[in-house]
């Protein structure tokens, strides 16, 4: 790499937490000729960071073989890739600030451990598919797994070595260690009882039975010679009704032409295989899937913030719509009853959603689209990710870097694309990752959204790009595009010129190379120093406050910025005063306390900052008087968003007996009109509709001979 060694040493020595003694030299062939330098560092006992990932195995072995060096279990060695991400680029000699930023971020302590989700597999495996393929796969798995075959056609071998069922799969649910399957069998021959003696085949005059040991009912002429031939085994019964069987399994190998589990991201333990190469890989993985396994619990859920449902009315369903594993579902109608399966299932009475952690694969898209922050990503937590972003940007700027473009990518597919670009650049076939582009690896590229993007921009990122692969779920791409449209609308509305957010698809090395050389946009004059909060809306408020404070010169902020729908996280509410009766159903439905009443007079009040645009008020309103207005209110320097304002008010109705105000004039008049023809509300009873609750009771008991209507 064409490194500026003296400059890099000076910059690294000034990195927070580093010392000049710890940055004595920058090595060229540390993995070979200069290996003793690594061994000396290994024996020092200090934390060790190696800026090379290609030879990580060699360095780990060297450390273990170095006398006096702590075990890597006691003091893990960390690695950071500065070669493909920057050094192997035509900008390599000018990448000092970038490399310092990558090294500084890599020195941060690892995030705190998160809770885990457990799986237990005893090796009970269901194989679904044609007979020959299923038997072939079973031959490769039979020595490790307890197999059951559910076949849908084809011949069977003569030897009856394992449990074989024939039928039509009716359902398949679950995950690794907890699959449940059901299938329907309508054929007269029960394969579980069949001994494959072939007597039925020889006896059938129509040849309606083959070596698949099932009767072709279209050819059978009801001679029943096969029944007589099978008398000893009793496997053939033409009077048998359709049978429904079911079973529990730990693993599923699906060899059918179409997957039985037809979701974009199938559960762990389920493999759908179409080709022989895929079958070999699936077999290798299945053989190792016996025992106990753990994975991180990727999400954190705050029921009190959820805007999915109230009173069985559906509002926001963004998390359900975006989940590619169907790990999130609505249980709004259960009124708080415990729902779901599995020890980790989460049920919430008010929110009406259930999140099954065993199905969650950690994409984080649910937290990205959640408007309230009720669902947030926990691997890593927002605060840990925010610290890494701030360290990258801060070190880059302190080292003299300009116009930083933050490139968020997945740690597998995205990292592979960046590595391929770096290798092409080393051979002179590409430009490589530019010096201003700061790659940041994530578990999944969909796990970060508007709050972190705007925070990064406020903290000095000129642009934020998200790198996705060709295999991403379409709902992820749509969600990220909608979030970027929101973020871009906000920055354009605040006067920042250029394209600040982009979704980059790594379809080829050349396409990625071109995309990363996009021109810079207009950034903030003074970067922010705030930390990303665990509360999504809190982070957004900090970012917006800084951006309003750092508006481009001569730009005057508008009173409001219109935000595109769907996906808006901010907005107002419009109330049609000609329809609204101030029943306040919307107040009871609002999950974020954006809508409120007034205890002293009939009023509907609103705080726009709190509104998450979930739509619960709109779906709950019995008069269809409410409409959402996606926007970001900026009037009075943004302070108008934080103040309560009256959306609608009406004169109160006064009790005809004591003159105390109760209800609204329009509501009482509507009620009197609707009940005017009802037999129970005539005469004195009709007059009581105009009384407050206290006077109504007094009036009823002062006229004991009248029918008492107590439930109005």
Identify the band that residue 474 occupies on the pLDDT scale cut at 50, 70 and 90. Answer: very high
DSSP 224-283: -HHHHHTTTTT-B-TTPPPEEEEEEESEEEE-SSS-SS-SSSPPTTEEE--SHHHHHHHH
Q: Which two tokens stand for residue 126?
A: 């269901």
pLDDT of residue 17: 57
Q: Which residues contact 311 (CB under 8 A, 6 or more apart)?
A: 588, 589, 620
Same domain as 128, residue 263:
yes
Q: Which two tokens stand for residue 281?
A: 């890989």
In a domain, 514, yes or no: yes
Question: Residue for token digits 């009620």?
Answer: 671
Helix 56-65 vs helix 35-43: crossing angle, to nearest 10: 60
pLDDT of residue 344: 44
pLDDT of residue 18: 57
Residue 110 has pLDDT above 90, yes or no: no
Range of the domain at 672: 652-702
Is the distance from CB of 548 to CB of 634 less than 8 angstroms? Answer: yes
* pLDDT tens, position by position, 61-84: 999 999 989 988 888 899 999 999
Domain final residue pick, 290, 324, 349: 290
Q: Which two tokens stand for residue 616?
A: 């619960």
In a domain, 148, yes or no: yes
Q: Which two tokens stand for residue 369?
A: 């689209």
Sort strands 437-442 and 405-410 into parallel, antiparallel or unpaired.
Answer: parallel
How far from 466 is each of 8, 170, 324, 500, 506, CA to CA, in Å?
A: 28, 40, 19, 11, 10
Same domain as 620, residue 507:
no
Closest to 366 (Cα-Cα) out of 453, 474, 475: 475
Q: How many CB atoms are closer than 10 A to CB 507?
A: 12
Is the distance from CB of 150 to CB of 126 less than 8 angstroms? Answer: yes
Give the separation between CA 407 and CA 440, rounded to whole angstroms.
Answer: 6
Same domain as 156, residue 89:
no
HEC readout, 675-712: CCCCCCCCCHHHHHCCCCHHHHHHHHHHCCCCCCCCCC
Domain final residue pick, 271, 290, 309: 290
* pLDDT tens, position by position, 267-287: 999 999 988 889 999 999 999
Give the separation between CA 313 and CA 617, rounded to whole angstroms.
Answer: 9
Work out the average pLDDT over 185-207: 92
**Percent of the chain topping pLDDT 90:** 67
Considering 21-30, 48-57, 349-358, 616-625, the range whose residues carry the highest mean pLDDT is: 616-625
Higher pLDDT, 591 or 12: 591
Residue 567 has pLDDT above 90, yes or no: no
Give the separation between CA 697 and CA 64, rounded to whole angstroms.
Answer: 87
* pLDDT tens, position by position, 642-652: 999 999 998 88
Same domain as 179, residue 165:
yes
**Percent of the chain topping pLDDT 70:** 95
Same domain as 180, residue 230:
yes
Q: Which two tokens stand for residue 318?
A: 């963004």
Q: How many CB atoms are closer than 10 A to CB 257?
A: 10
Same domain as 279, residue 190:
yes
Closest to 368 (Cα-Cα) out of 452, 429, 428: 452
Domain count, the chain: 5
Residue 22 has pLDDT above 80, yes or no: no
Is the distance from CB of 187 to CB of 252 less than 8 angstroms? Answer: no
Same domain as 470, residue 362:
no
Give the separation between CA 704 and CA 692, rounded to whole angstroms.
Answer: 19
In a domain, 551, yes or no: no
Residue 364 has pLDDT above 90, yes or no: yes
List, in sequence order, every residue forming a beta bridge with 47; answer none if it has no partner.
none
Work out the average pLDDT over 25-54: 86
Among 69-73, 458-462, 590-594, name the one with the lowest average pLDDT: 69-73
In a domain, 174, yes or no: yes
C-alpha 109: how far from its chain's center? 25
**What letter does residue 466 receive in the DSSP assignment?**
E
Same domain as 503, residue 424:
yes
In a domain, 554, yes or no: no
Identify the band that residue 471 occupies on the pLDDT scale cut at 50, 70 and 90. Answer: confident
Domain final residue pick, 239, 272, 290: 290
C-alpha 247: how far from its chain's center? 30
Q: Which two tokens stand for residue 641?
A: 């968003």
Among 27-31, 116-120, 302-306, name the one with the lowest average pLDDT: 27-31
Same domain as 430, residue 541:
yes
Sort strands 463-468 and 405-410 into parallel, antiparallel or unpaired.
Answer: parallel
How far from 471 is each of 267, 369, 510, CA to CA, in Å?
A: 17, 20, 18
Whichever domain contains 278, its CATH number is: 3.50.50
Same domain as 530, residue 405:
yes
Same domain as 123, residue 107:
no
Identify the band that residue 600 occupies on the pLDDT scale cut at 50, 70 and 90. Answer: confident
Same domain as 506, residue 455:
yes
In a domain, 637, yes or no: yes
Give the separation between CA 646 and CA 352, rounded to whole angstroms.
Answer: 30
pLDDT of residue 350: 54
Give the separation between CA 465 and CA 484, rounded to whole angstroms.
Answer: 10
pLDDT of residue 347: 40
Query: Is the peptide bond preceding residue 380 cis, with omega within 30 degrees of 0?
Result: yes
In a domain, 167, yes or no: yes
In a domain, 102, yes or no: yes
Q: CA 28, 30, 33 angle in degrees (round to 5)?
A: 95
Residue 335 has pLDDT above 90, yes or no: no
The number of residues in the chain equals 712
């Amino acid at each position: 790499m064409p490194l500026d060694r003296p400059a890099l040493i000076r910059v690294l020595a000034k990195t927070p937490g580093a010392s000049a003694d710890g940055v004595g030299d920058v090595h060229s062939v540390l993995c070979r000729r200069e290996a003793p330098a690594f061994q000396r560092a290994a024996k020092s006992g200090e934390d060790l960071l190696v800026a090379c990932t290609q030879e990580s195995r060699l360095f780990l072995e060297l450390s273990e073989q170095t006398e006096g060096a702590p075990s890597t279990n006691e003091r893990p060695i960390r690695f950071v890739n500065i070669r493909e991400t920057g050094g192997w680029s035509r900008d390599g000699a000018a990448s000092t600030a970038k490399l310092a930023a990558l090294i500084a971020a890599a020195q941060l302590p690892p995030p705190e451990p998160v809770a885990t989700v457990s799986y237990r597999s005893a090796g009970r495996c269901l194989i679904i598919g044609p007979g020959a393929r299923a038997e072939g796969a079973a031959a490769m798995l039979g020595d490790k797994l307890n197999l059951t075959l559910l076949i849908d056609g084809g011949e069977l071998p003569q030897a009856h070595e394992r449990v074989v069922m024939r039928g039509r799969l009716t359902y398949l649910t679950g995950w690794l260690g907890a699959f449940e399957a059901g299938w329907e069998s309508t054929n007269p021959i029960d394969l579980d009882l069949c001994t494959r003696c072939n007597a039925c085949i020889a006896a059938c005059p129509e040849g309606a039975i083959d070596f698949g040991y099932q009767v072709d009912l279209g050819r059978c002429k009801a001679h029943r010679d096969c029944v007589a031939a099978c008398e000893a085994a009793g496997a053939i019964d033409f009077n048998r009704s359709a049978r429904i069987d079911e079973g529990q399994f730990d693993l599923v190998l699906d060899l059918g032409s179409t997957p039985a589990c037809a979701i974009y991201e199938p559960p762990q333990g389920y493999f759908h295989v179409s080709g022989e190469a895929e079958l070999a890989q699936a077999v290798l993985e299945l053989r190792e899937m016996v025992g106990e396994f753990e994975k991180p619990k990727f999400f954190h859920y705050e029921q009190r913030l959820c805007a999915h449902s109230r009173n069985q009315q559906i509002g926001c369903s963004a998390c359900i719509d975006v989940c590619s594993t169907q790990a999130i579902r609505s249980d709004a109608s259960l009124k708080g009853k415990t729902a779901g399966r599995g020890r980790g299932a989460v049920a919430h009475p008010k929110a009406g959603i259930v999140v099954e952690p065993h199905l969650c694969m950690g994409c984080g898209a649910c937290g990205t689209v959640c408007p309230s922050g009720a669902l947030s990503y926990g691997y890593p937590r927002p605060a840990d990710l925010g610290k890494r972003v701030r360290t990258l940007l801060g070190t880059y700027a302190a080292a003299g870097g300009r116009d930083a473009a933050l490139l968020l990518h997945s740690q597998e597919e995205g990292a592979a694309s960046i590595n391929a670009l770096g290798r092409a650049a080393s051979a002179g076939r590409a430009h490589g990752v530019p010096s201003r582009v700061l790659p940041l690896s994530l578990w999944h590229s969909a796990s970060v959204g508007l709050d972190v993007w705007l925070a990064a921009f406020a903290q000095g990122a000129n642009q934020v790009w998200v790198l996705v692969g060709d295999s991403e779920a379409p709902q992820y791409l749509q969600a990220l595009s909608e979030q970027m449209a929101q973020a871009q609308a906000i920055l354009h509305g605040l006067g920042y010129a250029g394209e600040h957010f982009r979704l980059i698809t790594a379809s080829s090395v050349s396409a990625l190379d071109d995309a990363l050389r996009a021109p810079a946009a207009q950034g903030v004059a003074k970067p922010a120093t705030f930390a990303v909060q665990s509360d999504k809306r809190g982070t957004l408020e900090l970012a917006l406050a800084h951006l309003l404070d750092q508006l481009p010169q001569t730009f005057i902020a508008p009173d409001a910025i219109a935000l595109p729908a769907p996906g808006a996280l901010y907005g107002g509410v419009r109330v049609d005063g000609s329809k609204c009766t101030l029943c306040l159903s919307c107040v009871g439905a609002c999950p974020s306390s954006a809508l409120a009443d007034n205890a002293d007079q009939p009023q509907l009040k609103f705080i726009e900052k709190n509104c998450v645009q979930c739509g619960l008020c709109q779906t709950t309103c019995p008069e269809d008087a409410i409409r959402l207005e996606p926007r970001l209110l900026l009037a009075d320097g943004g302070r108008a968003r934080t103040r309560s304002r009256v959306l609608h008010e009406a004169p109160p109705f006064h009790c005809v007996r004591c003159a105390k105000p109760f209800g609204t004039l329009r509501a009482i008049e509507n009620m009197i009109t609707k009940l005017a023809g009802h037999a129970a509300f005539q005469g004195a009873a009709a007059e009581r509709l105009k009384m407050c609750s206290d006077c109504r009771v007094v009036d009823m008991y002062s006229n004991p001979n009248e029918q008492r209507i107590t439930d109005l």
